Amino acid sequence: MRPKKSKPHARARIYRATPNNLRRLAAVLRRGGLVAVPTETVYGLAAHALDADACARIFVAKGRPTSDPLIVHVGGWRELKAIAETNAAARTLARAFWPGPLTMILPRKSVVPDIVSAGLPSVAVRMPRHALFRRLQRLAGIPLAAPSANPFGYVSPTTAQHVRDGLGDMIGHILDGGPTAIGVESTIVDIRDPQRPRLLRPGAITRAALEKALGRRVSEGARHATPATQAQLAPGMLSRHYSPRTPVELHAAIDRRRAAFTDTTEAWLFFARPTGLAGKNIFALTPTGRATVAARRLFGTLRALDAQQFTRIHVELAPGSGLADAINDRLRRAASKR
Ligand code: AMP
Ligand code: MG
Where along the chain do its domains lie? 13-220, 248-335
Point out the residues of the chain with pLDDT beneath 50.
Answer: 1-6, 224-237
What residues line ligand 1, using a CB cutoff of 6 Å?
68-69, 71, 105, 117, 120, 122-124, 147-148, 185, 188, 200, 223-224
CB 153 within 8 A of CB 233: no
| Distance separating alpha carbons of residues 155 and 231, to the nearest angstrom | 25
For ligand 1, atom 11, which residue shows the shortest CA distance? 69
List the beta strands (DSSP E) in the chain. 13-15, 35-37, 44-48, 71-73, 102-107, 122-126, 144-145, 173-175, 187-190, 198-201, 219-220, 248-251, 266-272, 282-286, 312-316
Query: How far apart are the CA of 202 and the centre of ligand 2, in A?
Result: 14
Report the residue among 39, 70, 123 best suited for mutation to probe ligand 1: largest number of ligand atoms under 8 A from its CB: 70
Q: Cα(first)–Cα(last) distance of the chain, in Å?
A: 30
User: Among the atoms of ligand 1, which is closest to the Cα of residue 186?
Assistant: 3
pLDDT in tens, 288-329: 899 999 999 999 999 999 999 999 999 999 999 999 999 999
* CA 1 to ligand 2 centroid distance, Å: 33
**Residue 161 burial (10 A CB sphere; 0-12, 13-18, 19+):** middle
Which of 40, 59, 68, 242 gets mutated to test ligand 1 (max ligand atoms within 8 A of its CB)? 68
Maximal C-alpha separation, the chain = 62
Burial code (b: 16+ CB inside 10 Å, e: under 16) for 234-262 equals: eeebbeebbbbebebeeeeebeeeeeebe
Q: What integer pLDDT is reported at residue 260 of this predicted model? A: 87
192-204 in b/e burial notation, b at 16+ Cβ within 10 A?
beeeebbbbbbbb
CATH placement of domain 13-220: 3.90.870.10
Q: Measured between alpha carbons, how far is 20 from 175 in angstroms, rounded to an integer?
A: 12
* Nearest ligand to residue 124 Cα: 1
8 Å CB contact between 338 and 236: yes
Say how far residue 328 (Cα) sits from the centre of its chain: 14
Question: How many A from CA of 124 to the centre of ligand 1?
Answer: 6
Residue 230, classified by CB atoms within 10 Å of its CB into exposed (0-12), middle (13-18) or buried (19+), is middle
147/59 Cα distance (integer angstroms): 9
Q: Which of 104, 144, 189, 223 to mutate to test the pocket of ligand 1 (most atoms within 8 A of CB)?
A: 223
Write the single-letter amino acid at 337: K
Tell me the helices (H) and strands (E) count for the chain, helix number first. 10, 15
pTM of the model: 0.92
Question: What local confidence, expressed as pLDDT, does residue 232 receive?
Answer: 41
pLDDT value at position 6? 47
